[in-house]
Structures are given as C-alpha cells and as structure tokens.
Chain A
Amino acid sequence: MKTVIAFWNILLKDMRNYYLKPPNISWGIIFPFAWMLMLFLKSQTPVDVRTILAGVMAMSILFGTTSMLAVTITFERRSRSFERLLLSPISLTWLMLAKTLGAILFGIVNAFVPVFIALFFTSLSNIDWAIVFVSIIFIAITSTFLGLFIAVSVSEVFEAQTFSNFFRFPMVFLCGLFIPVSQLPVFLRLLSYLVPLTYGADLLKIAINRNGHIAEAISFPVLLAFSVILFLISKRNIQHRWIY
C-alpha cells in the first residue's frame, strides 16, 4: 500500500508539475497540428490525409514523450530533487515506472490530437481502432523509455535535447514514414529494423491503411522487447551512475 501511495503521488506531481502545464498542453496540440498542416498542404486528396495520419501520430508520440521525459528527469537531477526520490523507500523499479507513466499517458493523449484534426478533413471509417490503440500504447512506452534512456545518459538539460534529436530525426527518416522501408538502401533498411518506431509506425499503417509490411505477430513482441531492454538499461544506468 505504501508503494501505491508513493507511486500515485509521484505520478500526480509530475502530471501537475510538468504535463498539464499550459505551455506543454499547447505544445502537445501545436506540434501535431503543425505536422498535419504541413503534410496536408502537400497532399491533394482527403485520402492522402489518411495516408499521412499514421506517421503524424507516431511522430507526435515520439517527440512528445522523449522531450518531456528527457527534460524533466534531467531538470530534477540538476535541481537534486530526483535525489529525494532515490532516498525514499520506494524501489527503483516502481520509481522509474511512476516517472515514466506520466510521459506515456502524455504520449497517448498526444497521439489522438492528429486523429481529432483529421476528423475534419477525411473519413476515419474502416480503421481497426483496437490495433491503433494498442500500437499507440506500445509506441508511447518505447518512446518514453527511450527518453528515460537519454535522460539517464546525460547530465544537462541542453544535452538531453541534443541527444534526443540524435535519436529522433534519424528514426523519423528510417521508420518508413517518408520513404517506405522497402525502398531504402540495404544497409539503411537493416538499420531501420533496429528502430522501434519502424514497428510502431507499421502497426499504425496496418490499422489505418492496411498497408504495413511487418506482421503484427512480429511487431508487438519486438516493441515489447525494446521496452524491456530500454527500461533495464536505464535502470542499470541509474544504479551505476547516480548511486555511485
């Protein structure tokens, strides 16, 4: 029960302190909106909006979660308030889950902003919403844990931003959103399969446009494996770098 109280209050504090702040909410809306608008202006028909939807959703989650988590943890680390959490009796696993759950929820909400905007431009019928929802959850989890991995690998907020972009932009271009993975040169294609977003975006493509190229039975376990690995590496990094 004590762990539940601590877990819930860490989550609640982060939501109030970081995620539900007006600048973040506006950023969470503006960012996907800008992506949508940009790609919509390039597209010719309502069907095209639907084609780009999977990509915009994936990017919204990726950018939202990695930025928030990398910055908030680095900021708390700098102000030493993260030390307070490490000194409390909650286990490191629960502490990290509490810190990341806020970002995961933020990512999930972010993913639905483009969906909401798309409603005004195109029909969203014949979409497998169950797969969409599960995919969003998986992309949010892997992206958040990627943010966590970045946060525990750096010590300054600006380093977190730079390091995040080092991962995010290559991922956007490698995951098949702009150029289909099958059209990438062989070595880049191999690299794209090492990027979790490739599997998440592909799942969304299957659910929205039925044009994914990786089977769901492969994508879900791979995303799960990425989540577990990133979480374990981050936990190990905290244990070794912050508890010296």
Chain B
Amino acid sequence: MNEHILKVDNLTKKFNDFLAVDSLNFSVIRNEIFGFLGPNGAGKTTTINMLTGLARPTSGSIYFREMDYTAHIKKAQEIIGIVPDDSNLYEELDAFQNLCFCASLYGIRKSERESRARSLLQQFHLSEAGKKPFKFYSKGMKRKLTIAAGIIHQPSILFLDEPTTGIDVASARQIRSLIKNLNTAGTTIFMTTHYIEEAERLCHRIAFIVKGQIIKIGSVNELMEDVQKDRIIQFSFDNDVTLDQFDQDFCRQFQQCSFERISESVIRLRSSKALDLMPFMTFFDSRGIKIIEAKIIKPSLEEVFVKVTGIERELMRKDKESKKA
C-alpha cells in the first residue's frame, strides 16, 4: 500500500481579500518526487511556506505521516527538509561550517554532524571548493550546498522550491541528477518548478497549479493521456508573412483541427485524427505563404499544461526569463 508522507485537505491561504491558495487537496506518497508546476504567482511558494511553517493557513489541514500538524507545524519541522528558491546559508561560514551549523539546529551531536557534513560534501563534490566562505561560491555551488543543508538531518520529506531557477545549464543538470539520486536513495521530494521539461523529466506525479488552484494532478503518463492521441504538425513560414489574412478561411476549411500560434511565423495544427500534409500545403501555397519547414511534433507535457490551464507558452517563457533576470 502507498504510504502518504504528506496529505493536504482544503488548504487555503488568504491575504486580506486576495485568495493566494484556494482549497488545495493532494497527497505525497513515500519515495516519490511530487512536482508542483505553475507560473509565477500561482501559489507554489505560499503552499510550501504553509507546509513548512513560514506561513499560517487560513483554513484546511496538513498531515505528515497521517498526523495532523496544522496547528503545530513546528513539531513537524524535525522530519522536514527545506531548500528555498534562494540560497539562505551563512555568507561568512564555509561549506563544512554551514552544514555543521544546520545539523546542530536539529539537535545532532558534534561528532555525528561532522561526519554527516563530510560525507555530504563528498557526495555533492564540494569537499575542495567548500573550504571557502559561502559568499564566494557560484550560484550552482550555493544551490548544491543548500540542498545538502536541507538533507543533513535526514528528513522524511524534502521541499525544493524552484531548485534550478537562475543557475547555469551545467549546474542545473548536476542538481537534477542530485535530486534523482536523492530520491533513489529513499528521500521523498516535493518540488515546485515552472520548468515544464524539468517536471516531466524528474517527477513521478505532477500537480498543475494556477491562480492558487490545482487544475490537474496525476503521473506524467496519466497527464499525457489527454494529448497522446493528438497529431501535431508545426509549420514555419517565411518571416515576411503575416498570418492574420488566413485565420477565418483556415478555420472554415479545416474544421477537424485547431491551430495555435507559436510565434509570428510559426503555427501548430492539432487534430485527434491523422493529418494529411498536402491540403495544408495547397492552402498556404494558394495564399502565397511560403513554408520553410513542416515537422511533426510529439506531444509533450507542455501541450497538456497549455491545454489544461489555458496558459500560453509565451507567458511561461516570460516567467522563466523574468525569474532568470
């Protein structure tokens, strides 16, 4: 039987009249990576803050290992590990000192915390670089050490808030691999992200959260069921072409499929039935629209997200860019 490490019932957070998190219901199963996917301002961090004790729920219940901790989340903090979206270790301390200090906050004795710190530094490849004060680390190193600090007390569940946001590609890859390894070693992980590909690659189950509400929840395969039958063709046109001219004609002629603009000169056609390229080629050709590329797109989680939430790719992209900035 699947054991629920975390269960949330009707979790709600209001800031005056603003409903930041609206009646969330979900559970996290032991040994899984559970992803919370949504754009900026969706309520991801507020949810994590409520689950970890940095925010008080307006209503609802939080259960860890089947016990209700809503009113006294402090007692649950021993079994929780937290890695915030921004590294929050001590600038003046080096890696070893930071890890030892974090372990001491959980009442771990000196010999034990030193041994755990050494082992984590080795595991995270920070033994050498970690001798410098934290303030001199790269963003990737900072994030890795923050993750190490989050697990030094061997928590039952680790909360990762946007673990790869704002760091370079190589470090992001390392961190994803670390997350995988941690999970393989038995750590249950709850992570928030707005990188759809990251959620798809790492998470066993994903919840889409938009405007404080969970829109859909399930395993990647379950979520993909909605779009797996879809046939998608992407056309790229000559840059000079404006596509406004054919919108209505197109909808009239190809009623079996929908189309979506990806950019000014790129569209995607989607249908639940097999698509024949020729009628489209003829249609564009008759309107003097020059096709420079046509390709079949394999449906991805991004398609599901867009379909379910109605949030445009462009918005998520802007989110990513603003977060990076």
Contact = CB atoms under 8 A, between A and B. Distances in A.
Decide if A and B are genuine partners. Answer: yes
A81 B149 CA distance: 12
A39 interface: no
B19 interface: no
B88 A86 contact: no
Interface string B143-164: 0000001000000000000000
A209 B299 CA distance: 87
B104 A6 contact: yes
A243 B56 contact: yes
Interface in B108-151: 108-109, 149
A13 interface: yes
B66 interface: no
Nearest to A1: B107
A86 B54 contact: yes
A87 interface: yes
B318 interface: no
Interface string A172-204: 000000000000000000000000000000000
A197 B86 CA distance: 40
Contacts of B90: 13, 17, 81
B84 interface: yes
Contacts of A120: none
B85 to A, nearest CB: 10
Contacts of B104: 5-6, 8-10
A244 interface: yes
Contacts of A13: 90, 93, 101
Q: Which of B15, B77, B93, B105 has the most CB of A within 10 A?
A: B105
Q: Which of B49, B56, B107 has the most CB of A within 10 A?
A: B107
Given A13-B90, A81-B88, A81-B90, A86 B109 contact: no
Interface string A232-243: 000000000011
Contacts of B107: 1-6, 89
Contacts of A128: none
B92 A91 contact: no
Interface string A83-108: 11111111110000000000000000
B88 A80 contact: yes
A84 B101 CA distance: 11
Nearest to B15: A244
B46 to A, nearest CB: 9
A61 B80 CA distance: 40
A79 B53 contact: no
Given A17-B93, A80-B86, A6 B56 contact: no
A102 B106 CA distance: 20
A92 B149 CA distance: 21
A91 B74 contact: yes
A6 B104 CA distance: 5
Contacts of B91: 79, 81
B82 interface: yes
Contact of A87 (B82, B89, B93, B101): B82
Contacts of A81: 88-91
Interface in B1-47: 15
A84 B102 contact: yes
Q: Which of A10, A79, A87, A89 has the most CB of B within 10 A?
A: A87
B225 interface: no
Interface string A1-39: 111111011100100010000000000000000000000
Contacts of B88: 79-81, 83-84
A85 B49 CA distance: 14
Contacts of B54: 83, 86-87, 242-244
A230 to B, nearest CB: 23
B55 interface: yes
Q: Which of B88, B106, B109 has the most CB of A within 10 A?
A: B88
A160 to B, nearest CB: 18
Contact of B84 (A10, A83, A92, A244): A83
B102 A87 contact: no
Contacts of B226: none
A89 B89 contact: no
Contacts of A85: 105
Nearest to B55: A244
Contacts of B84: 80, 83
Interface in A55-94: 79-81, 83-92
Given A2-B106, A3-B107, A244-B15, 5 more contacts: A6-B106, A9-B105, A13-B90, A88-B102, A244-B49
Which 7 pairs across A and B sit closest by C-beta, in order of nearness?
A: A2-B107, A9-B104, A88-B105, A80-B88, A89-B77, A89-B78, A5-B107
Interface of A: 1-6, 8-10, 13, 17, 79-81, 83-92, 242-244
27 contacts: A1-B107, A2-B107, A3-B107, A4-B107, A5-B107, A5-B108, A5-B109, A6-B104, A9-B104, A13-B90, A17-B92, A80-B88, A84-B102, A84-B105, A85-B105, A87-B52, A88-B77, A88-B102, A88-B106, A89-B74, A89-B75, A89-B105, A89-B107, A243-B53, A243-B55, A243-B56, A244-B49
